[in-house]
Amino acid sequence: MKQYDYLIVGAGLFGSVFAREAADTGKKVLVIDRRPNIAGNVYTKDVEGIHVHEYGAHIFHTNNREVWDYVNRFAVFNRFTNSPVANYKGELYSLPFNMYTFNKMWGVVTPAEAEEKIRKQREEAGISEPKNLEEQAISLVGTDIYEKLIKGYTQKQWGRPCSELPAFIIRRLPVRFTFDNNYFNALYQGIPVGGYTRMVENLLQGIEVRLNEDYLLRKKEWDALADQVIYTGAVDAYFGYVLGNLEYRSVRFETEILDMPNFQGNAAVNYTDSETPWTRIIEHKWFEFGKDEEGRDLPRTVISREYSSEWKPGDEPYYPVNDEKNSALYARYKELADQEENVIFGGRLGEYRYYDMDAVIASSLELCRRKLG
């Protein structure tokens, strides 16, 4: 008999949801994380009375009612709606691509005019079957929007030309012929009041958590403690990179406290030209509903400039690069992972997938159904 039924490696969303469900079915659970804090990349920290998204903007959005009901057990969500602004060399555009964007770009007024403009540009570019992100983007919104709002941003974000990236990445963004600048096609959207860290604290209530513990450094000892391991770290790291490393994009944030109540008037502004070195600036106070009134009274504001870079050993991996080469390598790691008895790989890093938060939770709940009944 081992001391625990489950050792959960990583206190992010995948691990914390599994831990909660396992504990609630009477399993003995230990959660470890190599960071000094819980909550993985959704971690938020209180600075100047503002919940700072330490690992980048996280806006919870989902169409999955089960997931929405689930997270609402652990947090009250505000009614924040993401509507980022694109700044292209000082010209401001509404995102995602919608009638406000088309009007500003071309002066068109009706949806029919906008559709005609895009149809023409698609035709001129001669694209019928989009094979990569560039062709997909042009075929969805035309060359002008591609050139000003997509090309530079995407190349900075991914460090690769759009012609070498998979089309699905740009399909994350809605294209709307309405005056609706809600960035997500999701029935439910919001940010946990009190921050994500508090939500994850609630998920992990009563569960043993040990921080600053690196599983891979003492793997044998940890494995001896539990019957099963739920591993949410990077899959290639687990195997000591035996097949070579998978590629990730990493992100660096330069966070500043500014002595002014309002820096940019919006939670997210994307810098879509290729010269500006950062991809976007987040002004954290605007994620918090009610802060628009209170926020004006808060004398200061906290902003983070986000810089994207190619991951190298020692960096935090953020985004898997799901192109052909890496997908093929991941498939080989997956074969190894499937042979690991007693270890289940989950989450963005464990499954090398560009998962949103709701999809991570859905996949963890699915695993709970399989393992815990």
Could you give the residue numbers annotated as active site? Answer: 172, 176, 249, 280, 306, 354, 356
Buried b / exposed e along 154-177 (16+ C-beta atoms within 10 A):
bbbbbebebeebbbebbeebbbbb
Q: Is 302 in the site for ligand UDP (CB under 6 A)?
A: no
Q: Which is nearer to ligand UDP, 62 or 154 (CB)?
A: 154
Nearest approach in angstroms of CB 151 to ligand UDP is 7
Please report which residue ranges of the chain form alpha helices under DSSP H: 13-24, 65-72, 99-106, 111-125, 133-145, 152-158, 196-203, 219-223, 235-238, 291-297, 324-339, 347-350, 357-372
Residue 31 or 170 having the CB closest to ligand UDP: 170
Residue pair 272/88 in contact (Cβ under 8 Å)? The answer is yes
Residue 283's beta-bridge partner residues? 303
Q: Are strands 343-345 and 319-320 parallel, antiparallel or unpaired?
A: unpaired
Q: Which is nearer to ligand UDP, 23 or 133 (CB)?
A: 133
**Max alpha carbon distance in the chain (Å)?**
71
Residue 364: strand, helix, or coil: helix
Q: Which stretch binds ligand UDP (CB under 6 A): 69-77, 165-173, 230-238, 334-342?
A: 165-173
198-233 residues labelled b (16+ CB within 10 A) or e (exposed): bbbbbbbeebebeeebebeeeeeebbeebebbbbbb
Kindly tell me which residue out of 22, 31, 38, 149 binds ligand UDP, with binding defined by CB under 6 A: 149
Backbone angles phi, psi at 67, to 5 degrees: -65, -40
Residue 181 structure tokens: 């600048």
> CA separation (Å) from 37 to 142, 153, 233, 319, 353?
44, 31, 15, 20, 23
Structure tokens at 79: 């009614």
**Is residue 172 involved in binding ligand UDP (CB under 6 A)?**
yes
Give the residue, chosen from 17, 52, 67, 150, that forms a contact with ligand UDP under the rule CB under 6 A. 150
Q: Supply the minimum distance, in Å, between the C-beta of residue 49 and ligand UDP.
A: 25
170 makes contact with ligand UDP (CB under 6 A) = yes
8 Å CB contact between 281 and 304:
yes
Stretch that binds ligand UDP, among 21-29, 109-117, 168-176, 334-342 (CB under 6 A): 168-176
Calculate the alpha carbon distances from 258 to 33, 280, 299 in Å: 32, 17, 9
For ligand UDP (CB under 6 A), the number of binding residues is: 13
Rounded to the nearest whole angstrom, what is the least distance from the CB of residue 70 to ligand UDP in the complex?
Answer: 22
DSSP for residue 148: I
> Which residue lies nearer to ligand UDP by CB, 101 or 228?
101
The region of 31-39, 147-155, 241-249, 358-366 touching ligand UDP under the rule CB under 6 A is 147-155
Q: Are 148 and 105 in contact (CB under 8 A)?
A: yes
Binding mask 259-298 for ligand UDP (x = CB under 6 A): -----------x-x--------------------------
- Considering the complex, state which of residue 157 and residue 276 has its C-beta at the smaller distance from ligand UDP: 157
153 binds ligand UDP (CB under 6 A): yes
CB of 159 to ligand UDP, least distance (A): 11
157 scored as a contact of ligand UDP (CB under 6 A): yes
Integer Cα distance of 283 and 255 in angstroms: 10
Q: Which stretch binds ligand UDP (CB under 6 A): 21-29, 111-119, 151-159, 329-337?
A: 151-159
Q: For ligand UDP, give the closer residue by CB, 78 or 82.
A: 82
Is residue 169 a contact residue for ligand UDP (CB under 6 A)? yes
Q: Find the binding residues for ligand UDP in span 55-114 (CB under 6 A).
A: 86, 95
Residues near ligand UDP (CB under 6 A) are 86, 95, 149-150, 153-154, 157, 169-170, 172-173, 270, 272
